[in-house]
């Protein structure tokens, strides 16, 4: 019984496929790997480009070679492939599409979803990958600098709204300017967050409408570099003008939590313990976590997450993560506090986990008040 790894996905949005093949296509295709061969099975539309662009060492087949019907479906192609290669058992990612798996099983194949990560090595970055992530972060920082400069240049109108280039400065406008900077740098923005005041009380509210002085503005930027597929991730929080005392204290607490957590990050450290250490710093500063009026407040997300070919990937620095770090991971460190009454503060850096500590990849400074 010959076994094979099998992925059926596109390489544009499926990081495992991109990792395996280096090839991006908007529609799903087949990747397989047996003990003797690695291959891709491509439509006429993508075949010739795959020959040129896929990772070296992968054999590129046409759909037609495994099923020559015009209306061949994925199950027909995989069955044809399996017959020619005498494969009976497929190991697939946990996210493998159920319908295709059921169809293959009903044709007599064994299809076993991987319980863990399909490519566990993706969690541990080699030096090229760290370089790619660092390059992504440099572009991300340029986006943040652009935002900072615009906030500096902006003036206040009589109602405390920000005016820039003779226009009311909105979340939408500032987000567009940040995203343009990312694109000029060769990266593709995702859902860039510019959330002012109480909007920032929801960590993933992307923000809308006029920006105001005296209120925290959370800016969270996470683009993917087009050429490599690797992501950067960065959050800063600004106040235009003078920050209220409470916001200043929250900023100091979040900064302290982040900086206290970093020295704990090293090979052997247990993520939940790092998370809890950051949380206890916030508690000590008086920024506790809980629930009232049917809303969460305080620090109610994980301290960080892995970043690579996905913006959120293993490992998580969260209350549920009990597997010790091994070294080689790239993770965010991003404590935050959120209150429906006035908004939120989040400060996010990225670090590379090493034997005896971690190396901070983020270079941009932390500034609260923009005058």
Integer Cα distance of 285 and 283 in angstroms: 5
Residue 175 or 368: the one with the smaller Cβ distance to its own copies is 175
Least distance CB 95 / its own copies (angstroms): 5
Q: Find out whether 267 and 325 touch, Cβ atoms under 8 Å.
A: yes
Residue 180 or 365: the one with the smaller Cβ distance to its own copies is 180
Residue 37 or 191: the one with the smaller Cβ distance to its own copies is 191
Residue 104 or 151: the one with the smaller Cβ distance to its own copies is 104
Least distance CB 42 / its own copies (angstroms): 11
Encode burial over 217-234: b for 16+ CB neighbours within 10 A, e otherwise: bbbbbbbbbeebbbbbbb
Residue 7 or 243: the one with the smaller Cβ distance to its own copies is 7
Q: Is 227 in a helix, a strand, or coil? A: coil
Residue 51 or 242: the one with the smaller Cβ distance to its own copies is 51
Least distance CB 127 / its own copies (angstroms): 25
DSSP 224: E
Q: Give me the half-sphere count of Cα atoms (radius 13 Å) on the Cβ side of residue 316.
A: 9
Integer Cα distance of 347 and 353 in angstroms: 19
Q: Find out whether 217 and 200 touch, Cβ atoms under 8 Å.
A: yes
Least distance CB 363 / its own copies (angstroms): 24
Residue 112 or 126: the one with the smaller Cβ distance to its own copies is 112
Least distance CB 18 / its own copies (angstroms): 13
Which residue reads 């790092």 in tokens? 274
Least distance CB 300 / its own copies (angstroms): 4
Contacts of 91 (CB under 8 A, 6+ apart): 3, 4, 5, 6, 112, 114
Residue 113 or 214: the one with the smaller Cβ distance to its own copies is 113
Q: Find out whether 359 and 272 touch, Cβ atoms under 8 Å.
A: no
Integer Cα distance of 71 and 332 in angstroms: 45
Which phi and psi (to 5°) does residue 61 adopt?
-105, 160
For residue 53, give both structure tokens: 């662009």
Least distance CB 108 / its own copies (angstroms): 17
Residue 74 or 361: the one with the smaller Cβ distance to its own copies is 74
Least distance CB 136 / its own copies (angstroms): 16
Least distance CB 34 / its own copies (angstroms): 20
Least distance CB 72 / its own copies (angstroms): 8
Residue 243 or 310: the one with the smaller Cβ distance to its own copies is 310
Neighbours of 121 (CB within 10 A): 10
What are residue 212's DSSP bridge partners? 161
How open is the CA angle 266-269-274, to the nearest 5 degrees? 100
Residue 42, Cα to own-chain centre: how many angstroms?
Answer: 28
Which phi and psi (to 5°) does residue 202 adopt?
-100, 115
Residue 167, Cα to own-chain centre: how many angstroms?
Answer: 32
Q: Under the rule (CB under 8 A), what is the footprint of its own copies?
A: 12-13, 24-27, 43-49, 51-52, 70-72, 92, 94-102, 111, 113-115, 172, 176, 179-180, 183-184, 186, 188-191, 201-205, 226, 294-296, 300-301, 311-312, 319-320, 322, 340
Instruction: Give the torsion sign (CA, 143, 146, 151, 154).
Output: negative
Q: Give me the half-sphere count of Cα atoms (radius 13 Å) on the Cβ side of residue 140.
A: 32
Integer Cα distance of 39 and 58 in angstroms: 5
């Amino acid at each position: 019984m010959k076994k094979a790894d099998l992925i059926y996905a596109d390489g544009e949005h499926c990081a495992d496929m991109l990792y395996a093949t280096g090839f991006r296509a908007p529609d799903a295709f087949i990747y397989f790997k047996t003990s003797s061969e690695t291959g891709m099975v491509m439509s006429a539309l993508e075949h010739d480009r795959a020959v040129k662009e896929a990772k070296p060492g992968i054999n590129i087949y046409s759909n037609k070679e495994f099923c020559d019907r015009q209306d061949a479906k994925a199950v027909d192609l995989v069955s044809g492939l399996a017959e020619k290669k005498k494969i009976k058992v497929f190991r697939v990612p946990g996210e493998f599409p159920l319908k295709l798996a059921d169809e293959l099983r009903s044709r007599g194949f064994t299809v076993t979803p991987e319980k863990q990560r399909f490519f566990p090595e993706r969690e541990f970055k080699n030096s090229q990958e760290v370089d790619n992530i660092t390059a992504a972060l440099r572009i991300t920082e340029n986006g943040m600098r652009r935002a900072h400069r615009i906030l500096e240049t902006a003036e206040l109108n009589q109602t405390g709204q920000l005016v820039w280039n003779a226009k009311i400065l909105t979340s939408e406008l500032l987000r567009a300017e940040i995203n343009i900077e990312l694109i000029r740098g060769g990266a593709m923005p995702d859902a860039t967050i510019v959330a002012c005041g109480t909007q920032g009380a929801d960590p993933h509210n992307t923000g809308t409408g006029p920006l105001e002085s005296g209120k925290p503005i959370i800016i969270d930027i996470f683009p993917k570099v087009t050429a490599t597929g690797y992501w950067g991730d960065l959050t800063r929080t600004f106040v235009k003008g003078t920050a209220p005392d409470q916001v200043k204290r929250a900023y100091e607490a979040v900064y302290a939590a982040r900086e206290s957590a970093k020295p704990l990050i090293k090979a052997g450290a247990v993520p939940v313990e790092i998370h809890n250490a950051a949380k206890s710093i916030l508690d000590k500063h008086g920024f506790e976590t809980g629930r009232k009026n049917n809303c969460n407040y305080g620090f109610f997300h994980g301290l960080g997450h892995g970043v690579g070919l996905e913006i959120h990937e293993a490992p998580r620095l969260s209350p549920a993560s009990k597997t010790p770090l091994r070294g080689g991971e790239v993770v965010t460190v991003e404590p935050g506090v959120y209150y429906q009454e006035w908004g939120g503060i989040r400060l996010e850096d990225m670090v590379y986990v090493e034997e005896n500590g971690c190396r901070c990849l983020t270079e941009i400074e932390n500034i609260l008040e923009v005058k």
